[in-house]
Amino acid sequence: MIKRVINKLIVSLIVVLVFSIATIIIIKPFLKDNSTEASELVNSQLKVVKTKEPNSNKISTNPMTMLKADGNRITNSINTDIKLKGLMPPDLSVLKKDKRFNKAFFEEIKNTGANVVRIPVHPDLFVKDKDYIDKYLVPAVTWTNELGLYAIIDLHYIGNIVTGEGEQMPKISVDSNVLAKEFWIKISSLFKDYPNVIFEICNEPTAINATQWYECANGLVALIREQGAKQLVIVGGIQYSQDLSWVKETPITDDNIAYASHIYPAHSSGNWDGWFGEVSKLKPVIITEWGFIDENRDITKQQYLVGDKETYGKPFVDYLDKNNIGWVACWYDDTWEPQMFKSHSKNYTNYGSFIMQKLK
C-alpha cells in the first residue's frame, strides 16, 4: 500500500517537473529586463504613432505631432510654430491613371522642401469608386506620415454643399449635404490617430452667404469631433474661399480651426487685407490654393489665372510672409491649370520655377 502511494507521488512530481520545464522554454524568449521594457514603453508613448500600412497589418512609426491652433499661430505639441508650405497634386485617382500614384511621388514632393501636401478628393470620382478610401487615401496618408509630411484631406466641392447649388457642382445623384456629412464621419473616424492629417471640410464654398456657411461649417466640424478626431480643421471663406471677413465677428465655435483663402491674379491686392489679412491677426490663415499662368496666357480659358512673378507672384508671397501666412500652391502637374510643369519631367513653367525657389 505504502509502495503504491510512493509510486503515485513520484509520477506526480515527474509530471510537474516536465510541465515547469516546458513552460520556461516557451516563455523565455518573451522575458526582458524590466528597466528596458519600461524605457521602451515611455519612448513609444512620447514618440510613436501607430498607423496601418495599406493592405497589411504591419505597424509603421513616425514621430510627427498633431497641429493645433493657438491664437493666430499653428503650433505642434511642443508649442513650436509651424508654417505650412506645400503643393497640391491632382486627384489621387488621376495620379493612378498616370502611373504616378506611389510613395516615390510623395518623396518627390518632400524633396522640393514642402512640409505639407493638399490631397483633393473630387466628389464625382469618390462616388464612382466604392473602394476610393482604401485604394487612395489610406496609402497616401500612410506614405506622407512616414515621410514627415502633413496631409490636408480636402473635400473638393465648389459651390453650396447645403443646397447643391453652384455652376461647378458635380452632376452626381448623391445629395451634397448628405455626402459631405457621411464623408467626414468616415474620414475623421478612420484617420483620427494620424497626427499628420488635417481636414479641410470644403474646397470652395460659393452660392452661399456667410450665415449659412457658418452654420454648415460648424455642423461638419462638430461631426468630426464626435468621431474622436482632434486634428486641425480648415474652414474656407465664402465666394470661392476668397472672403474670410465674416470670421472676425463669428469664428467657428471650436478651438482647433485654421481658415483658408484662395487668391489668384484676378483678385485685386486691394482686397487682401479685408478678405484674409486682417483675419490672420486673430486666427491662423492658410492660402490653400494660389498660382498663376504666364507663358500659356493666350490659350487658357481660365483668364483669372493669368499673371506673372513680378505683378502677382512676388508681391503675393511677400504679403504672406509679412503676415506669417502659410500656403499650398497648385497644381503640381503639367495639365491641370495653373500647371507647374511643361511635362512630367523637371521642365518647369515660369510659375513652377518660382514655386520651387520659394520652397527651397
pLDDT, position 191: 98
What average pLDDT does range 260-269 have in this prediction?
Answer: 98
pLDDT, position 153: 99
19 within a domain of the structure (yes/no)? no
Q: Could you tell me the pLDDT band of residue 6, with boundaries at 50, 70 and 90?
A: very low
Q: Is the pLDDT of residue 10 over 90?
A: no
CB 204 within 8 A of CB 157: yes
What amino acid occupies position 57? N
14 within a domain of the structure (yes/no)? no
Q: Is the pLDDT of residue 45 over 70?
A: no
333 within a domain of the structure (yes/no)? yes
How many structural domains does the chain have?
1
pLDDT, mean over the chain: 86
- Supply the range of the domain harboring residue 296: 56-359
Q: In the chain, pLDDT over 90 holds for what percent of residues?
A: 80
- pLDDT tens digit sequence for 215-263: 999 999 999 999 999 999 999 999 999 999 999 999 999 999 999 999 9
Q: Is the pLDDT of residue 31 over 90?
A: no
Grid coordinates representing 73 are 499661430
6 within a domain of the structure (yes/no)? no
pLDDT, position 39: 28
pLDDT, position 50: 36
24 within a domain of the structure (yes/no)? no
- pLDDT tens digit sequence for 302-317: 999 999 999 999 999 9
- pLDDT tens digit sequence for 67-87: 999 999 999 989 999 999 999
What average pLDDT does range 278-286 have in this prediction?
Answer: 98
**CATH number of 265's domain:** 3.20.20.80
337 within a domain of the structure (yes/no)? yes
Q: Could you tell me the pLDDT band of residue 193, with boundaries at 50, 70 and 90?
A: very high
pLDDT, position 228: 98
163 within a domain of the structure (yes/no)? yes
Q: What is the value of pTM for the model shown?
A: 0.83
28 within a domain of the structure (yes/no)? no
CB 161 within 8 A of CB 184: no
Q: Supply the DSSP string of 269-331, one letter for each residue.
A: GGGHIIIIITGGGTS-EEEEEE--B-TTTTT-S-GGGB--IIIIIHHHHHHHHHTT-EEEEE-
pLDDT, position 64: 83
- What whole-number distance in Å separates Cα of residue 334 and Cα of residue 324? 29
Q: Is 48 exposed, middle or buried (0-12, 13-18, 19+ CB in 10 A)?
A: middle
H helix or E strand, kind and range, residue 224: helix 210-226
Q: Is the pLDDT of residue 49 over 50?
A: no
Residue 57: DSSP 8-state: -
What amino acid occupies position 206? T
Residue 339: DSSP 8-state: P
- What whole-number distance in Å separates Cα of residue 344 and Cα of residue 40? 44
pLDDT, position 179: 98
Q: Please state the separation of Cα 165 from the chain's center in Å.
A: 26
